[in-house]
Amino acid sequence: MQHGFTLIELLVVITILSILLSILLPTLGKVRDLARRSICLSNERQLGIAIHAYAVENNDRIPFGPKAPPMLTATDFYPSTGAPTSLISLYNGKPVGLGLLLNDYLSEQPEILFCPGSDRPIDDIAELAKVGSQQAQCSYYYRHGSVDKQFDSPSVSLAAEHIELSNLGLNRNGYPIGALVMDTQFLVSEGFASFGIVPRTHHKQQWVNVLYADGHAQTLANTDNRFTVDLNDWYTLTHAFDRILKVLETADKE
């Protein structure tokens, strides 16, 4: 003779399932985060291949520039050639930094400019569509120019308009320059959103992936927020590029 579950048996089953879910969900979340971090790392390795291919075809020069005005304007977060940012096009839509790779080196896989581990929703297709018409950003800082100058001085021209991949020199702390690309851990006051300057963080701000000049990429722990750029007022915003460069210099030592 068949009989159904009693209420007590049903409650026991539900309780067991709840316990199993409470055990499994955090594990599944960690596995998902690890997978996204791994894809991001792969993206950066692919960017490394593209940068090296560009250098081979351009006398060892990495993608650099174009020249931008030596001034800080909130609507064009790019005051000078050499300031590392996540921009792939300028306010006027001109490709810049890693955006210079889009036509010839990333034309079949432009999505690798975006990390799947973003902490905030981002429409990479819409962002890529801006290139050519307005300012656009990707998921990664790109260090493509000045080593010891935070801003271009109107009265001083840079010694070289292009940087050689095999001769990047030393950073401001005297360490050999190695880190070229890094996940952005960029926090900024909500008051700057109207200027298009918004937070862009990844991997729950716990990790950063870094691409080095020799082509290898590795994951580093964001211990004590050492790779986080936190801009909470106008003063810190005006020093943003120095702070971004500092986190890349921190990665040079790894």
- The predicted model gives 45-65 an average pLDDT of 94
Region of poorest pLDDT, from 97-106, 213-222, 230-239, 243-252: 230-239
* CB-based burial label for 30 (10 Å; 0-12, 13-18, 19+): exposed
Euclidean distance between CA atoms 10 and 54, whole angstroms = 64
Q: Identify whether the C-beta of residue 66 lies closer than 8 Å to the C-beta of residue 96.
A: yes
CA–CA separation, 235 and 233 (whole Å): 6
Residue 219 pLDDT: 97
pTM recorded for the entire structure:
0.83
Number of domains in the chain: 1
C-alpha to C-alpha distances, 224 to 41, 206, 227, 228, nearest whole angstrom: 22, 9, 8, 9
Domain carrying residue 111: 8-152+162-252
What is Dmax (Cα atoms) for the chain? 96
Rounded to whole angstroms, the Cα distance separating 128 from 139 reads 12
CA distances from 104 to 51, 98, 114, 233 (A): 11, 12, 18, 39
Instruction: Give the pairing type, strands 85-89 and 136-142.
Output: antiparallel
The CB density around residue 56, as the number of other CB atoms within 10 Å, is 10
Residue 153: pLDDT band with limits 50, 70, 90 = low
Kindly calculate the radius of gyration of the chain based on its CA atoms and give it in whole angstroms.
22
**pLDDT (0 to 100) of residue 105:** 95
pLDDT at 52: 97
- The yes-or-no verdict on residue 163 having pLDDT over 70 is yes
Residues 6+ apart with CB under 8 A from 179: 143, 210, 211, 212, 213, 248, 249, 251, 252, 254
| CA atoms within a 13 Å half-sphere pointing along the CA-CB vector of 6 | 3
Q: What is 138-182 written as a DSSP string?
A: EEEEE--S-SS-SS--TT---S-SS-BTT---B-TTSPBP-EEEE
The percent of residues above 70 in pLDDT, for the chain, comes to 81
Residue 150 has pLDDT above 60, yes or no: no
What per-residue confidence (pLDDT) applies to 51? Answer: 97
The two tokens of residue 215 are 């082509």
Confidence category of residue 207, pLDDT binned at 50, 70, 90:
very high
In a domain, residue 157? The reply is: no
Q: Is the pLDDT of residue 145 over 50?
A: yes
